[in-house]
Each structure stands twice: as C-alpha cells, then as structure tokens.
Structure 1
C-alpha cells in the first residue's frame, strides 16, 4: 500500500516506481494506492462548499483537475498524454456534475459524500498505473469498486468478506505478475459507491492480503515505522522494530496514526505479517507487526495518545449495588450509536466515567438526561457531568503482563511533574494502561513518560534562571561548559530555557546555548518576575527548575507559586529561607506535597555541603546540640587581609572587587548576612526562630550603622580608619585573629566579632574560608567540622549547579 504522501508529488511517485520495480523483480505484488496527498481533504472541503451553496466549490474542483494534469505532464512524455487525459476528463466531468447537483439542492448525504471522496483514488490509481506501465512494470489495473463489497450503511460500512474474497480471487490471477488498485473505495450490493473510512487504503490492502493469503503486507508511508510516541509531541520518539498484532491494535486505537485500526484484523486471522516502511528511507528497517511479542526488556512497547476528548460521568447512590444500571448506561450509548474510547468504574460502583469525543459527549449527555430523568429528579443520580479539553494517554506492551511496578512508575512520572490524573483504565490482560489528563498537560506527560520508560539513561532538565549578576553569569558559563560531559557521562540533558536580569528577560523554547547571543538588550522583553514565572508555567515543560540567583525579595515571593505548579526551586537567595518562619515552613511543606525540591544549600557556606550534612545527621537520628561557625567568606577575607599596610576600607573594596561581598556591602558588614545564615541553620536544626531572635553584636562604629547609600557608607568607613586599626591592633598584640562567629546553643543564637587564639579551630582560616562546627548527640566530644572556601562566584555557582544536578537524581 502506497500512502497519500508517497504519491503526493512527482518526485515521490518516482520513488515509489523504484520501490515497486525492486519488489516486482523478486516477488509478484498487488499495489494499493491512496489519493494524491491532501486530495481527500480537498474533495471533502469542496463538497462542503457545494452543499453550502458556496461558489468556492468551483475553485476546489478546478484545483483537483489542475493537480492531476500537472502530475501527468511531468510524469509522462507528451505523446502519452491524450488517452490518459481523456480518462481523467471523464472522471473530472463526472465529479463536476455531481458537485453541481449538490450545489443546487444544498444537501450532502453520506451516500453522495462517499461518491465524491472516491474520485481521489479513482484518479490516482489511473495516473500511477500509467506511470508503472511506462516504467516497464508488468502490472494490471483492477477496479476496487467492483471487488470490495460492503453493506449500504454509508459512513459506517461493514465489509462482506465472503463476497469480497471471491471477487478478489477471481480478478487477481497469475495472468499478470502484479496488479494495481485504488484503496479506500468499495461498493454496496446494489452498486452504490462506498468508502472504507479515513485511512481506509490500509484496510483495502489488508483485505486483499488476507483474501490472497499474501506472504506479507507492506504499508509504505512518510515515517520510519510505528514510533514509540507521537513525534510531533515527543522529539526523541524512535521506531519500534517489532510489534505484536495486539500491541499494534491497542496503539492504533489510541491514536497512533501510522496504521488504520481496522487494518489489523483481516491479516491477523491469516497470521500475515505487516511491515511499515518509509518511502523516503527504503533501506530503513521499519516496523514488523506479527504474532511475535515485542522484543527486548522494555516494560512497554509504545505510548499512544488522543487529544481533544471529553469525559462524561454518571454518579450517585442509585448506582451502588443496583443490578442493570451499567447495562442501561451502555444500552443508551449503543442505541444512539455513540462510540466510546475509555470506561472507568471504581469497585464502589458509585460512578462510571466514559471518555469520548466532545460531539458524542453532548449527544450522550442529552440522552442520559432523558433516560435517567426520574433517577436524577429523585436524587439517586447526580446531574450528568461532562468535562472537556481532555486527552487520553495509553502505555502499551506485552511485557507489562505480570510485571509489578508499571502503573506505579507511570503515576510517579506524572505526579512528579504536577500532572493530575482524572481517570484511569486497565484491563486484566495488562496490555494497556490508559489515563485521562488535561489537554494542556499532554505534551509534558508524553515526554515525561517516554523519557522514563524509553530513555531512562537520559533525563532532560529545563532551567529558568533569574538573576544574571556575577553568580548567575558564572552559573550560566559553568552549565554550558559542562553540558556535553553531563549528557555523555551521566545522561543529564541540561537546557537553559529562560534567562532574566533586573531589566530584561529572554525565553527560547529550544534552549539558550550562548550568553553573548542573549544580551538581554532592549529588543528582549522587559523583565517582570511575575511575567517570567507565568511564561515558565505556561510552557509547562517537564522537569522544570526555577533557579533564583538574584538577591531580590520580589523574586523570592514567587517561590510559592512556582512550587504549587510542581516546579523545583534552587536558590542562593537567602531571603525566603530567612524570612518569616511560617513562610519558610510553608515552602518546605509545599515542595514535599508537590513532590518537587526546594533546595537552598548555597544559602550557608556557598558550595560547602553544610545544610545537606546537617539534614543527613538529623535523618539518621542524630540531634544538634551546638553550632559554632564562621559563615561570612567576605568578612573572613576582610579580617584576614587587613594589616598595617592594608586598611579596613581597602580590604572591603578588595572583597567587593573579587565578588566575595554582597552587592551592598552593608549587608555583610552589619552582620545581617551572617545572622540570616545562622538563622537558617537553626531552623534546619529544628528550631522555630525568627530573625529578631538572633542577637547581633555589631562591630561597626555608630557612624556607619545608619547611612543613606552605599557610597555614603563607604565614605564613613574610610573616615573610621583609626577605629578599625585599633580593633586590629588589639587582636594582634595578643597574637589572636579576628573572626565573626555565629553561635547556636540550645535556642540561644548570636553573631559577634571575636578574637580567637592559636589553639582554636577558627584561628588558621585563609582568604574567604568558611568553617562550621557541629556538636551533636553523636559528635559530642569532637565536633564534626566542615571547612572550605565559602564565598566567591565560582564556588557559589558550583553549589547551585550541584543542587540542580541533585534534582536530576530524584
């Protein structure tokens, strides 16, 4: 069978001639052709225009005629045109007369529509036959209308296989090596033209293959076979090498468009294998459908989906334990020819949910309202509910049978990404698990499931980065320099989707790979954190991570909204974790509720594993009794740098230049930054404390405590040279070092500048080092010590990066 795309253009027709020639040299074959690509839709549209008395039908009619004339002119030499043109004209004139009649009576019956649609295959089979003959292929054209017999129920026909098989065996003999016929078209007992439904050319080929006991049915199309998922939705979908008939039927029923669902039954009865091949890659393996189960150890074979569905629910106490209620429900549907796609009923019998097309749902609701009117009025059945804009996803595979954990993994994959399951269905055959979700979540869900079942060695993380100061820019560079290695060695595919600084933002749905290309200039959208977050939520990408490298409270206030939509948050921004305790706890609980992560390791100690170590201690049953720490890399750098040659003012400037200090150095020098860090440690240790509970013993002179601006502060700092020099000299005279120490001891929390002697762990600290001493129930005699660089863009960005990677391992 040659699909519409396979015969859409002259180039494509030349390809199929080559394919058929190759097959014909090896074995006799019967070729079934579809209408030229897009022609069936054009015929349908033209008929609709005619039925609406719209003169546009003439334009459609002329386009149909023109397309076939153009293909003929390019396909065959001039001397061959006359006889074929006459045949084409006869068919086109017949079509024109039919359309004129419909235009005049303003009515398009199912019978007339079948007649009109049949011209696509009648015309294409004529053209392709002549091209084959001219190319030297020994082939005979037979009329499918005379051979495929059906009943007279236009739009819903049933094939009469007994008569059809007899006629096909009579028409196809060994007189010719090969035969060609149009697909899709057939006729009833009284000779009326009928059609086998959209995609019916597959069905024609299957009927012919079964009637003649063919060795194989080949379907040539524009894809590489049956794919693991819809390639429009899932870019990493790949061909399935082998499928069982059962698996193919399940996938085709739930939306896999490569094969028309009724196609499988005729060849299944004869155990004739089906091979799906690509016209444009004839050497590719394609997909083989046979009695054999799918090969390999994958738990599922493929994922299928149908969008734009509706779910109608009948529920109420009147259903519980009442015999015959299900029969009445399905009897109503059957009586009115309402087709359903999925049924879900809980063991309580309190409700039955049925998925179907929106048009069918409206019809079903109207009929249920009539048939169950008494029960609804009596309150035994609730008002019939219909929910629209839904999609069905089905995972299919024979390997699911007797394999525990398949549904658990499916539900976990969806739940982890905030995708709500509205209804579930699974038969005892364990061949198919189907879920109903919102249309808006379909692409995200398909990618999540496909990634977890077929690409478990690879995980995509979609990053939205707010804050492009020195830490944010460093993180961007670290991600881009490490992307290839992460994908190759660890299967982590990092994609930077959104970037934002304080003025502008840029979002690239396929990922941002180079910072210079995204200068966040005036042409980019003006930054608004709410709009940036809304865009991220609207994209609805799986495994999304919101990374906040800003120091803004406005950004931190968005965390709740982000977590609520099942998007993880990673941040070095301390404002949320050190804000009101209730808010801190709410964010942690919300992350747990939504099965995502809220990670702020870099709030304390930059890239040092301080919070993770603390949490590991607590999870293992230990209890924190005391914490003593030097938590400001910038202050440690400043007090390590001051000397008789380097003033306090100069040391502060150096810390700012190296990126150790906050953008506003007053936060560091006021010890507020340290206070926030010890507050966060205290909370993580289990205490309900607020920032006001931290006793800050400021080392700043009074003149520096209240300043109008950063510049004003720095000028006053410079004027207090004598004050700071005295502080330095006092420590040096006793051979001690100055350290800003944060302490936590049984609820008592403080921050002070201290002189430490040479026997203290804090004495030998260099540069911007941080150090944390944990005394616990287990580490009571000798504290657990964490020490290392605790400031600077490189280590802070690396800590944020580590949190991002940690999420990939969930």
Structure 2
C-alpha cells in the first residue's frame, strides 16, 4: 500500500489539487495497489483554530469573527474547486462539520476553565475539513476515494497537544482495518484518540507522523511527502547562496540537521528508527514540480554532497590548531544543547585559547 502525505500548501489551491490528480494518475498507471493520502489542514487553518481557542479560553466573543473567517475560507475554496458541482451529500457533510465545531466552541464558552484536552478537540477540525474536501474533489474527477478519520486508527496516550503513539494498539487497529478494507482513502493527519476515544493531536508537523506510522505498519516501500519545495536543499537559501537539492541523505543525517535547526519536513517523533529497521525510504517531492526527483531519505547513502543546518541560536565554530577535548566534555555539551565560550584574539600569547 502506497502512503502519500500532502502538507497544507499542497491541498490549498486549485493548482495543487490538479497536480494531486496527476500524481494519482501516475501511480495508478504503474500499480494496482491502494493509495493512502494523508492530508494536513488547509494553509493557515490550524493557526486560526489556535487563535479561536485562545479567545474562547478568555470568554472573548471575538472568536466568532475568526470562526466566520474559517467558514468563509472553506466556503470560497469549495466554490472555487467544485464550481457548484459538489453533491448534496458533500454540502451536508461540510455543513455538519461547521455545526459540530460551533457546538464545541459554545460548550467551551460555558466551561469555567478549559484545558489542553479541550484544545485538542478543536484543533483537529482543520484536518477533518481538508480530508473531506480532497475526498470529494477526487471523486468529482473520477477517482474513487473514501474519507478516513485517523482517530479510528491512531491510539495515543493523554498527553494532549503532543500525544505519544501507543504502537501496539495502533498496529492492531491499522492491520485489522486494512485487512478488511483495500480501497483508496484520504486520511486525516495530525490527530488521534485515546483508548477512551477522546481526540488528541500529535504536535506540530503531526501529519508527517501519521504518514510514517501508516507506512511503517503497512510496510510500504516508500513514504512520500509532497510539499512545496524541491526536496532537501544543501542549506537554507535565506542564509547560503547557490544551494541545490540533494539527491539523497541518510536517516542519521536527517536527525542531525533537524537537531541543529532545520525545520525539514519530518515530525521529530516520526518513527525514523522503525522505518530504518524496515528499510522503508522517505521521499520528499514538490507538489508544484512533480517531475523533479526530490530527495530520498534512506538507510545509507554513497552520495558525497551534504547539508548544512543553521540555527539562529547556535553556530558551529571551526578552530585551527590541535585541540585535546575529552569525550566527557563533548558529551556534556551535546547533553546541554549549548556551549558558552569566549575567545581572546588580541594578545598573541592568548591566541587560540578558549575559556
């Protein structure tokens, strides 16, 4: 089973949805295996839902203005992509989602104090909207896909806002479901549920985690993340000139550059070790340039090109000279995640000393 993940920018325009149609056609020409499309919320919606929750927690009726903005945003987008051709069923579905969101928010307004559990019950609506929109769009264009709420599959603990996956229960649910169902699905990213079926979210970038969980359990050959860049660049083009896309990197390199400031694409808990063990690659490709080969993340790589990651709060400093630094000091530096030092350059007898 092929797992494709589409980020917010990849599902938020007529152009990107049209490109998804071409991507699906390419897959269906090559294989008869079912497709799982894991989708994020439309661009900006989760941020707006965060704002709404913050206002509701203060009992500020200004939240109604932001709620209306979300409704209008989805309504305009639906009108643009369907042009009045959506079915009565889909209209009722979108109306029902809006009504459920409004009901949840009104209930929170009457609560004396809201918490992270309440927040998670609100933030997941973005993915529910987008997954239904993508499903209906694909159906309208002749592709048989079905909506799948990941709360039915992804079991987590109750660490609301950044829930951890219960892999044994999730693995059983996923395998049981897809043993009986071999259709094409559009899956909500980012959200799961506790054993008691209380909604949770997986943290920022959680849709990546959803995709890698499904890819790992279903033993896909490759998990493909479709985004708005041509793979992983050799450096951040905001700081470094003449960057270019890497053909491939290793899982270890991905983990290291993520630790040192790269917002590269993959949720920090995205089961990279499990993918590594099962030899499942991750491929990063551009929804807006589907012919570009992108960057493959794999167990090993013979490719000599490497990536530089820059963090605004840290730097990598190269010293000329022979330095004897003990392993214990290096371990402590890495454990603390920072190093404070002063370099004296003025006096010749103090040159190259570190304090």
Pairwise same-fold verdict (TM > 0.5): yes
Equivalence for 1:74: 80
TM (normalized to structure 1)?
Answer: 0.39
- Tell me if 1:273 matches 2:281: yes
Equivalence for 1:282: 290
How far off is 1:81 after superposition? 4.3
SS of the residue aligned with 1:80? coil
SS of the residue aligned with 2:319? helix
C-alpha separation in 1, matches of 2:268 and 2:173: 24
C-alpha separation in 1, matches of 2:329 and 2:147: 46
Equivalence for 1:343: none
Q: 2:113 aligns with which of 101, 107, 111?
A: 107
1:325-336 matches, cutoff 5 A: none
Asked whether the 8 Å contact 2:71–2:98 carries over to 1, the reply is yes
Q: 1:197 aligns with which of 200, 203, 210?
A: 203
Q: Structure 2 vs 1, CA of residues 427 and 242 (structure 1 numbering), >3 Å: closer, same or farther?
A: farther
Aligned residues: 334
SS of the residue aligned with 2:285? strand
C-alpha RMSD of matched pairs (Å)? 3.0
Equivalence for 1:261: 268
SS of the residue aligned with 2:261? coil
Cα offsets for 1:646-673 (capped at 9, x unmatched): xxxxxxxxxxxxxxxxxxxxxxxxxxxx
C-alpha separation in 2, matches of 1:89 and 1:191: 23
Q: Structure 2 vs 1, CA of residues 280 and 247 (structure 1 numbering), >3 Å: closer, same or farther?
A: same
Asked whether the 8 Å contact 2:225–2:284 carries over to 1, the reply is yes
C-alpha separation in 1, matches of 2:91 and 2:131: 14
Q: Greater Rg, structure 1 or structure 2? A: 1
Relative contact order higher in (CA < 8 Å, ≥ 6 apart): 2
Equivalence for 2:325: none
C-alpha separation in 2, matches of 1:132 and 1:30: 13
How far off is 1:277 after superposition? 0.7
- Tell me if 1:411 matches 2:319: yes
SS of the residue aligned with 2:220? coil
Equivalence for 2:25: 21
SS of the residue aligned with 1:303? coil
C-alpha separation in 1, matches of 2:349 and 2:168: 62
Cα offsets for 1:437-480 (capped at 9, x unmatched): 79xxxxxxxxxxxxxxxxxxxxxxxxxxxxxxxxxxxxxxxxxx
C-alpha separation in 1, matches of 2:229 and 2:123: 25
C-alpha separation in 2, matches of 1:122 and 1:437: 46
- Tell me if 1:4 matches 2:8: yes
How far off is 1:32 after superposition? 0.4
Q: Structure 2 vs 1, CA of residues 294 and 105 (structure 1 numbering), >3 Å: closer, same or farther?
A: farther
Cα offsets for 1:351-407 (capped at 9, x unmatched): xxxxxxxxxxxxxxxxxxxxxxxxxxxxxxxxxxxxxxxx1346xxxxxxxxxxxx7
1:442-481 matches, cutoff 5 A: none
How far off is 1:435 after superposition? 6.3
- Tell me if 1:160 matches 2:166: yes
Cα offsets for 1:247-274 (capped at 9, x unmatched): 1112223332122221223322322000
Equivalence for 2:228: 222
How far off is 1:114 after superposition? 0.8
Q: Structure 2 vs 1, CA of residues 427 and 591 (structure 1 numbering), >3 Å: closer, same or farther?
A: closer
Asked whether the 8 Å contact 2:209–2:266 carries over to 1, the reply is no
Asked whether the 8 Å contact 1:73–1:81 carries over to 2, the reply is no
SS of the residue aligned with 2:158? coil
TM (normalized to structure 2)?
Answer: 0.85
Asked whether the 8 Å contact 2:86–2:140 carries over to 1, the reply is no
How far off is 1:303 after superposition? 2.4
Asked whether the 8 Å contact 1:53–1:106 carries over to 2, the reply is no
Decide which structure has greater strand share.
1
SS of the residue aligned with 2:86? helix
Equivalence for 2:309: 304
Asked whether the 8 Å contact 2:101–2:122 carries over to 1, the reply is yes
Q: Structure 2 vs 1, CA of residues 106 and 436 (structure 1 numbering), >3 Å: closer, same or farther?
A: farther
Equivalence for 1:250: 256
Asked whether the 8 Å contact 1:185–1:193 carries over to 2, the reply is yes
Equivalence for 1:208: 214
Cα offsets for 1:677-705 (capped at 9, x unmatched): xxxxxxxxxxxxxxxxxxxxxxxxxxxxx
Cα offsets for 1:227-252 (capped at 9, x unmatched): 22233333433322211111111222
C-alpha separation in 2, matches of 1:245 and 1:35: 27
Equivalence for 1:90: 96
SS of the residue aligned with 2:110? helix
C-alpha separation in 2, matches of 1:278 and 1:393: 29
Q: 2:46 aligns with which of 28, 40, 43?
A: 40
